[in-house]
A = this chain, B = another copy of it.
Amino acid sequence: MAKEPKLNLIPLGGMGEIGKNLMVVKFEESILILDCGLMFPEEDMLGIDIVIPDITYLLENKDLVCGVVLSHGHEDHIGALPYVLKQLKVPVYGTKLTLGLLQDKLKEQGLAEEARLKEVKPREIISIGPFKVELVRVSHSVPDAVSIVVYTPVGKIVYTGDFKIDHTPVDGEITDFFRLAQLGEEGVLVLISDSTNVEHLGYTMSERMVGDAFDEVFRQAKERIIVATFASNIHRLQQAINTAHRYGRKVSVVGRSMINVINIACELGYLQIPEGTLVEIEEAKRLPKNKIVFLSTGSQGEPMSALTRMALGEHRLVEILPGDTIIISATPIPGNEKLVARIIDQLFKRGANVIYDSISEIHVSGHASREELKLMLNLVKPKFFVPSHGQYRMLIKHAALAKSMGIPPENVFVVENGQIIEFGRQSGRFAGRVAAGRVLIDGLGIGDVGNIVLRDRKQLSQDGIMVVVVTIDRESGQLVAGPDIVSRGFVYVRESEELMEEAREKVKKTLEKSNGQDVPGWTAIKSQVRDILGKFLYEKTRRRPMILPIIVEI
């Protein structure tokens, strides 16, 4: 009897975390990658710019990888590709806008030429290696979002990507209920579904609600209006532009990423701007105050964004004026709450009226709430269920939801990154692990900042550093110069001369006692200086600066 064919699912990201989504589908000697996103650093990753998945497993199986299929154009689903494509030269499949947004990022990394981007239309079925793949339209906070269906000899996989059910989407492109239901009717082996909003009861509101809220605010605003939102939320930009047009206002765009996205979206036909509506900032400033709307980046309070610089009075072109109405059309991503709150305060201080999420319907989520998650489950009717895209508690809750709807508990898999789930036509089980983790990117360095560097940065950030330079005669072991003590981030030196003098004395005494006796490298003396000085400084200040003894031999 021939062995039953097996299919492996291996998440390398997106499980137990928000971001860096990457799902590996492996059948026999072929691998397909679904999404390839980045994550923003956690607060203990000091100085880190972004985080990408560890793709050691993919590099070790380089020859098996047939391609990458993308669900939509957000950073947490495409943002690792500029790094990954350098090491893994495979074609990338996605809808038109998704590839347009990706192309922009590849350009920055000089990869635009060599990357093989292949546009796929929803419902079109394409072959990638032994896999057949179909994209199925869903709604999300960026246009052209799809779920990904992978046809394999073992069965069909439906990977939702990020989705919501919007019955009145701005572009009229409704979730393809028919295809999802048809797949369900034919039989789906595994559903991998977005868990982000599993804690939200009921339904997520339609994006069109935000249009209504814009109308309300625009109608009442007597002077300038500034709308801050995510650059990629093109439907929201469209609604802001439409509302501006309706009230006879011109629109001007502030912030590099927003200008970029608007250019791409216009070029590809995803954004319609009425003739003559868009004006340069300088021209906008000459218009009457009730004739202008600025669209701006910075809805997350990002330190270098246009809105932040305006709020602090540091923007080169636009300053906040009393009477401005500022709409922050976004919810702070966890961790950004205080940044956003600070910007709101600054804007109020400049006399602006600020309208933000917690007091107005000025933002809706792009993710499915519980009732929509249930609908997805009942449309697709999978045999096996894998909750994805979310913190661990969300995966647990999404799993419980699926079980409560009748999926047998043994068919529901809450997995960690790197865990292999092996599926047969009737069976699913954990089948080991592959390497998985986070690769930290700091400047040009990919993965070179590890725990030791981060631990040092942490200590430096808390109490600074004290450098102790001692010059010693190589032959006699006698002190020739110093100890010279320099500190940074520890105390304000001008007011702590006495402390520094005492510290110098402590070191001197330590050296005298040791009498130049040590192994090569002065390891023992260095460690003594560290201990004695550390204790002294803690006693005096209750601080623990990093102590860095440097011994110069001459």
Contacts and interface: CB of A to CB of B under 8 A. Distances in A.
A359 interface: yes
A471 B464 contact: no
Contacts of A359: 199
Nearest to A461: B461
Contacts of A461: 46-47, 457-458, 460-461
Contact of A358 (B199, B335, B344, B496): B199
A486 B470 CA distance: 14
A550 B467 CA distance: 9
Interface stretch (A109-117, A242-250, A317-325, A446-454): A446-454
Interface in A348-368: 348-349, 354, 358-359
A471 B473 CA distance: 12
Contact of A448 (B42, B392, B495): B495
Interface of A: 16, 42-43, 46-47, 199, 334-335, 337-338, 341, 344-345, 348-349, 354, 358-359, 391-393, 396, 442-445, 448-450, 452-454, 456-458, 460-465, 467, 469, 471, 480-482, 484, 486, 488-492, 495-496, 540-543, 546, 548, 550, 552-554
A419 B260 CA distance: 45
Nearest to A353: B396
Contacts of A541: 442-445
Contacts of A335: 337-338
Contact of A442 (B391, B465, B543): B543
B481 A445 contact: no
A320 to B, nearest CB: 14
Contact of A449 (B46, B491, B554): B491
A542 to B, nearest CB: 3
A43 B338 contact: yes
A462 B199 contact: no
Contacts of A552: 469, 471, 481-482, 484, 552
A376 to B, nearest CB: 20
Contacts of A344: 391, 393
A52 B372 CA distance: 48
B467 A456 contact: no
A554 B460 contact: no
A490 B453 contact: yes
Nearest to A545: B47
A471 B492 CA distance: 26
Nearest to A450: B492
Contact of A542 (B345, B443, B481, B486): B443
A179 to B, nearest CB: 33
Given A460-B461, A471-B554, 15 more contacts: A47-B461, A47-B462, A345-B392, A348-B396, A349-B392, A354-B393, A442-B543, A443-B543, A445-B542, A453-B492, A454-B489, A457-B489, A465-B488, A467-B550, A486-B548
